Chain A
């Protein structure tokens, strides 16, 4: 079953983090990603650029509005995601717990709604 792991943390930490710590985090993420690719659980995953690069799009009454920033101001911000394939929720939780971000932030684990959707050929 597919689960989306949404990685939330306080962005301001990244700005004040010393270089070696940053380097270690990157290396940890690299190792984690390699690990779940090898185990066959990785479907997709990416870090996101910080929320100051975000734009929120809404269309109401035929009118497009594009505003600066994430859809809501929150204490922790979405920083990245992994789409994984796991046996069940326990398995997904185990995988999420190994995401380096779980040590400093929060990982939301949400099951994908299984329905017939178009897929690229």
Chain B
């Protein structure tokens, strides 16, 4: 055992905390069966490490030591608390019996524990906003304040949401388990959905001044990488690719003033080539995997854009073909709209406009500002100024995002000054 000086112990323990605390928490949650108890146990264990390693030196396997310490402290605390509660003491003895040496399967267990935690936090029986809050808190380690700020709610509201979610896990007995093979496809969908929601919230903030909130997108990508490490299924690769490819365009998407720059007008030299390379690689991997789905197809569309050296060189025929696939995998009016825009690029604005108007005539997407923006744009390209103005106005009425409003106002201004 090494004996090092005081300052070094603190640094070492801090380093371990930063690198490992999330994974250790996942294991403690499995061993102790409760979020709160596990969190307290972890803090106690780290405090004990700082005290004791100074004296006895750093153990060979610091992680095992910490997990053991956490477990013992928790069981001690539960025993002390349970002195007058007969119901609880049975539970404690069960905990002691069940978790006999946790250090044995330590390394495999850690990965499984994280995956278990992700699946539990994203369980469909929890409300969607609760899943997001719980995942960001327990898996990503964001504080309640950070999450509240990101979602523009107050910390007490968010804290309540998390408390209720943990309550439901406990009271309805949602187990800490990686789902069985039969349940896996749907449960994995739930996980990917949460990750995608977090990414989208960061990529295109639903209202307010800034177009993007980078921290959330980074968390989502980190989560995506984690799940990819633990469960390299094609759709996981597809979602990660989609996020990386969107992220690769972050700097080019807004001007210095915070204005929205359309894909066709973006400075492609500002695109992050490393992210594109990684994203494209993942798309290819996902497509080769066979049973891919809508995330992979969306990523493939994004990859076609990413690989075009300039906007006019975009392979729109490929994109339309991919949208045809996407319509089969995940039919929706929004996908139809995006396909219509692609058709306009491949076949000209008349064809595209016919498709957009068909969607609106059906009654779909009437309140979706991008549908009206698309219609406006196509009308403008065809010289139908009045129709374009009407649609830009409608789109403006329907969006609260400042950069998008600025873009629409600019277009409207251009038409009005003709």
Contact = CB atoms under 8 A, between A and B. Distances in A.
Interface of A: 1, 87-90, 93-94, 111
Nearest to B187: A90
A93 B173 contact: no
A88 B173 CA distance: 5
Contacts of A90: 174-175, 177, 179, 183
Nearest to B169: A89
9 contacts: A88-B174, A88-B175, A89-B125, A89-B172, A90-B177, A90-B179, A90-B183, A93-B125, A111-B173
A1 B174 CA distance: 11
A111 B169 CA distance: 11
B33 to A, nearest CB: 11
B104 interface: no
B171 A111 contact: yes
Nearest to A113: B171
B383 to A, nearest CB: 50
B275 to A, nearest CB: 37
A1 B175 CA distance: 12
Interface in B155-178: 171-175, 177
Contacts of A111: 171-173
Given A90-B179, A90-B183, A1 B173 contact: yes
Interface of B: 123, 125, 171-175, 177, 179, 183
A94 B186 CA distance: 13
Contacts, number: 21
Given A87-B175, A88-B175, 19 more contacts: A1-B173, A88-B173, A88-B174, A89-B123, A89-B125, A89-B172, A89-B173, A89-B174, A89-B175, A90-B174, A90-B175, A90-B177, A90-B179, A90-B183, A93-B125, A94-B183, A111-B171, A111-B172, A111-B173
A94 B175 CA distance: 13
B68 to A, nearest CB: 27
Contacts of A93: 125
Contacts of A89: 123, 125, 172-175
Q: Which of A1, A87, A89, A94 has the most CB of B within 10 A?
A: A89
A90 B186 CA distance: 13
Nearest to B176: A88
B263 to A, nearest CB: 42
Nearest to A93: B125
Contacts of B179: 90
A89 B172 CA distance: 6
A110 to B, nearest CB: 8
Contacts of B183: 90, 94
Closest 5 CB pairs of A and B: A88-B175, A88-B173, A89-B174, A89-B172, A111-B172
Contacts of A94: 183
Nearest to B173: A88
B122 to A, nearest CB: 13
Nearest to A87: B175
A1 B171 CA distance: 10
A87 B174 CA distance: 10
Contacts of B125: 89, 93
Nearest to B124: A93
Contacts of B174: 88-90
Nearest to B180: A90
Q: Which of A1, A90, A94 has the most CB of B within 10 A?
A: A90
Q: Which of B173, B174, B175 has the most CB of A within 10 A?
A: B173
A90 B183 CA distance: 9
A88 B179 CA distance: 13
A3 to B, nearest CB: 8
A90 B190 CA distance: 14
A93 B174 CA distance: 10
A89 B120 CA distance: 11
A87 B177 CA distance: 12
A111 B125 CA distance: 13
Contacts of A87: 175
A94 B171 CA distance: 18
Contacts of A88: 173-175
Nearest to B177: A90
A89 B175 CA distance: 7
A28 B175 CA distance: 29
A66 B285 CA distance: 66
A92 B171 CA distance: 13
A90 B177 CA distance: 9
A111 B174 CA distance: 11
B130 to A, nearest CB: 15
A38 B173 CA distance: 24
B331 to A, nearest CB: 22
A1 B172 CA distance: 9
